[in-house]
Amino acid sequence: MALIHGGQLQQVAEQYKIPLSDWLDVSTGIAPLSYPIPDIPLKAWQQLPQQSPALIAVAKQYYQCSELLVTNGSQAIIKALPELYSQKNMASQDVYLPERGYKEHAKAWRSAGYTLHFYQELLPNINQLPTNCVVVIINPNNPTGKFFDREVIVQYHERLKQLNGLLILDEAFIDVMPDGQSYCGKVEDNHVIVLRSFGKFFGLAGIRIGFLVANGYWCERFKALLGPWQVNGPAQIIAEKALNDNAWHNEQCEKLHTLRVQQEALLWQVFTDKLVSTIQGCDLFLTLSFYQTGNAKKLYHLLCQQGVYCRLSDEQDTLRFGIAVEENLMRLEDACLQACGEVA
């Protein structure tokens, strides 16, 4: 069964009978400010895409790693990893995942026949992990915003090496976290891999590019499994330029943080602490938890009726708002005020 994700605006617009052009879409964690598209040579459109040494060199510098594989987004790796790992470690049968998080991870491991164990805010007890197990950590977590310091990640990595297991770190949103917290520079053995997203921080999810940060063993096996022409030529040119633009990175971080602070204050003011118990997230999204869990679903529908599309959680008890640009904050505020007035 297909999972529900944010970004399904066409489907939602049809459901609520509102033209696509009339919507404010804050349903994803994709940055609302995009890296400017550079001029792209005609040959990039004409030729089959070759692996770009320049892109790989720039990506290694950006991610501070020695090995990586360019892919058409993290999803291809997430889907293929369980079967590939079961071939490497036939004794592996247990996987630990966050109860709330990107559901494609659980779907892939369940489809491969693994036994799933879910943890909540705290990671699973490090001393009770079985041999050959897999631990998935989404850092920071989407949608809870929970973030684990690198010192904690090191402990789990070392333990899983002892257990002949595998640590999977999904760092799709880590670009907006403090420098030095990514684990990409610590990936040296077969027991850890890191997934990095390009489209979220750079606001260019449509070009479908991502990176697997792993040692040579994993990079070669995924390269053989996924086959040639994974990433189109124009996407590689855009990513190379974007990853190499340090001034833009700093500016983007500052702008996103400013927008997040403004929007978080707005949401607290509108929803008030009588409705909302917590607002959690990062500089790419904010997730609201409610005292009465049924309010999330009610508010979601009331906002959609006004052409404002946020993300109702799979559990249907929280709402996640992507970060809006400043000129859209007034519309977001007005829609939220009206929705709150109808559930109060």
What pLDDT, on the 0 to 100 scale, is given for residue 1?
A: 47
Q: 188-241: per-residue pLDDT in tens?
A: 999 999 999 999 999 999 999 999 999 999 999 999 998 888 899 999 999 999
What does the alpha-carbon distance between residue 11 and residue 20 come to, in Å, rounded to a whole number? Answer: 10
| Neighbour tally for 126: CB within 10 Å | 14
Complete DSSP assignment for 166-202: EEEEE-TTGGGSPTT--SGGG--STTEEEEEESHHHH
**Do 199 and 75 fall into the same domain?**
yes
What pLDDT, on the 0 to 100 scale, is given for residue 344?
A: 67
**Do 88 and 128 fall into the same domain?**
yes
> Widest CA span of the chain, in angstroms?
59
**Do 28 and 65 fall into the same domain?**
no
**Do 150 and 57 fall into the same domain?**
yes
Q: Is residue 273 part of a domain?
A: yes
Q: Is residue 240 part of a domain?
A: no
Instruction: State how many domains the chain has.
Output: 2
Q: 108-126: per-residue pLDDT in tens?
A: 999 999 999 999 989 999 9
**Do 83 and 192 fall into the same domain?**
yes
Element (H, E) at 286: strand 285-290
Q: 24: domain CATH number?
A: 3.90.1150.10
Q: 168: domain CATH number?
A: 3.40.640.10
**Do 265 and 227 fall into the same domain?**
no
Domain hosting residue 318, numbered range: 9-32+248-343
Extract the residue ranges of the chain whose pLDDT is less than 50: 1
**Do 285 and 160 fall into the same domain?**
no
**Do 113 and 21 fall into the same domain?**
no
What does the alpha-carbon distance between residue 6 and residue 153 come to, in Å, rounded to a whole number? Answer: 28
**Do 21 and 112 fall into the same domain?**
no
**Do 227 and 189 fall into the same domain?**
yes
What pLDDT, on the 0 to 100 scale, is given for residue 65?
A: 97
Q: Alpha carbon of 58 to those of 15, 64, 72, 242: distances in Å?
A: 43, 10, 17, 9
What pLDDT, on the 0 to 100 scale, is given for residue 4?
A: 66
What pLDDT, on the 0 to 100 scale, is given for residue 179?
A: 82
**Do 55 and 155 fall into the same domain?**
yes
